[in-house]
Structure 1
Amino acid sequence: MSLYSKKLSISTPWAIFIVAVLLLLALGTFTILKTEKDFLGNEGPLWVFASGVVSGLIVTLAQFCLSWADAKAIDRFRHMGVENVLTTRDEEAYFGKLIQKARAQIDVLGSTATRLMQDFADLNSPKAEKQSLIEALKKGVPVRILVASPAHLDSDDQYKYSLTRKRFEVIAETYPNFEARYFSATPIAAFVRADHELVVGPVLPGVESKHTPALHVYNHSPYAASYLKYFEETWKIATPLSDMPPLEPQQ
């Protein structure tokens, strides 16, 4: 790793404390330099500093103490690698930005990935944002999609399997850096990984995924690690798209 890519990490409470100390030192120095009276004399630097700053300092310290707990809580989230909490996954623009800035890897885990393909791999749409996944493939970004086999989908989702399967096959014929596989288990989680970031949420029976919450975390997070490990282990034993049985012709 380049030395220029390393970052100094400091917690929020300590950052606030250090800034406060530096401001006090700066104000004290300024007060001493701008007066000609004795330091300990009447209306001298110490008197001016004490009368003008201490009252404000007391209020500031009181507010700081009250906010310390909140700052510590924020730091715990940051140490866990949490970037954001989404109350719903119905955030097309949010996911679109992640996909658009991906340069090394895009991984998708889900039930059918129907909404993903509709939102970001619509080959017939004139809107550029509707082809974000296609643009990533054109740039050479590897894309892996892991979804449930039809035997493990609810009856209401069976049609989605056929719909996305056809889209997978069309894209796979054009882009060798696109892979799709099917795992033999009931889906319990869904995520989109773009490089070092991951947005993950639960799959709840009878509830559309777009109506469920999600966490936006970084890959180094312990929370993300379990999902990424599951993806890699399941990917190894999942059935490649090319090995899936032919689709039955529509009546």
Structure 2
Amino acid sequence: MKEFKKIRINFSLAILVLFILILLCATLLLLFSFTHLSDKWSAILGGGVVASVTALFQYAISYLDYRNNERLAISKVKNFLTSRDNKDYYTKLIRDSGGRIDCFFFTAKRFCDDFCTDGGNDNLLIKRLNENQRIRVRLMVQDRSMLPESLQRDFDSIIDKLNELSRRFGERFSVKTYSHIPAHNIFITDKDAIIGPYFNNKKSKYSHSIHFEESADFIKDYKDYFEQEWSDGTNYHTPST
């Protein structure tokens, strides 16, 4: 049997529209210049030439924007975030998740305060875990001994909360620690992925991130990175203080 190679064709709508506009302008201009028409049709065709040239000029001005938007769509980029403390933004992602939530943080304090607190409006993740038995949360935080003193206090403030959630949901809410300086902030569900850098001299919530679709090729290395970190991580069994 013959093997057929799969050919991938990248189709650019922006280039196609540009080509059609150029072709339309050239056709109308040639007809107007070399065709003998009545005054009525000459006026109509002349108006068409002016309109098509104007449309081509306007489109040419915005062409780079159209092409950039196409590249973002091909890369499956959904948004650019200027900070990581937008609770409402992450609320929608957690609500839309139907199976997996993987997180790689410094301490996860802000995440736990916003979504893992019983009562009030800060218990969304607990509600989702109760509602959907298929949801599995894997949370990675830095080992306490690696954290600066200010973040050690954040680490200590959610010890009881993380331990209680692990007891309540078992393998559906798992926590591990890593023992190195983190380079990335990672939040991945079965539909979305938010990836951003960690900077040692800047608070993480003020760092920028990029929101991708979970299926984006760009984040494959980040998913592999998380899986390796999870495999190498240490189970979180910190006693209450």
Q: TM class by shorter-chain length?
A: 0.7 to 0.9
Relative to structure 1, is the Cα distance of residues 61 and 193 closer, same or farther in structure 2, using a 3 angstrom cutoff? same
- Tell me the CA shift for residue 165 of structure 1: 2.3
- 2:126 aligns with 134
- Tell me the CA shift for residue 222 of structure 1: 3.6
Q: Distance in 2 between matches of 1:11 and 1:166?
A: 53
- 1:165 aligns with 159
- 2:7 aligns with none
Q: Distance in 1 between matches of 2:83 and 2:13?
A: 28
Q: Which runs of 5+ in 2 are unaligned?
A: 1-9, 29-34
- Tell me the CA shift for residue 164 of structure 1: 2.3
Alignment of 1:1-251 (within 5 A): 11-14=12-15, 16=17, 41-43=37-39, 45=41, 47-123=42-118, 125-127=119-121, 130-138=122-130, 139-140=132-133, 141-176=135-170, 177-241=172-236, 244-247=237-240, 249=241
Supply the AA of the counterpart residue of 1:215.
Answer: I
Q: Distance in 2 between matches of 1:12 and 1:151?
A: 53
- CA-based RMSD of the aligned residues comes to 2.4
Q: Distance in 2 between matches of 1:240 and 1:19?
A: 60
- Tell me the CA shift for residue 17 of structure 1: 5.0
Q: Distance in 1 between matches of 2:126 and 2:11?
A: 39
- 1:5 aligns with none
Give yes or no for contact 2:18–2:56 (8 Å, CA) kept in 1: no
Relative to structure 1, is the Cα distance of residues 120 and 15 closer, same or farther in structure 2, using a 3 angstrom cutoff? farther
Size of the aligned set, in residue pairs, is 219
- Tell me the CA shift for residue 15 of structure 1: 6.6
Q: Distance in 2 between matches of 1:231 and 1:119?
A: 23
Supply the AA of the counterpart residue of 2:174.
Answer: E
Relative to structure 1, is the Cα distance of residues 65 and 209 closer, same or farther in structure 2, using a 3 angstrom cutoff? same
Q: Which runs of 5+ in 1 are unaligned?
A: 1-8, 29-38
Percent of aligned positions with the same letter in both sequences? Answer: 23
Query: After superposition, what is the alpha-carbon deviation per residue over 1:141-164, rounded to whole angstroms, capped at 9, x for unaligned?
Result: 111101111122111111122222
* 3-state SS in 2 of match to 1:181: strand
With structure 2 as the length reference, what TM-score do the two structures score? Answer: 0.81
* 3-state SS in 2 of match to 1:175: helix
Q: Distance in 1 between matches of 2:44 and 2:11?
A: 30
With structure 1 as the length reference, what TM-score do the two structures score? Answer: 0.78
Query: After superposition, what is the alpha-carbon deviation per residue over 1:166-186, rounded to whole angstroms, capped at 9, x for unaligned?
Result: 211111111131111111111
* 3-state SS in 2 of match to 1:146: strand
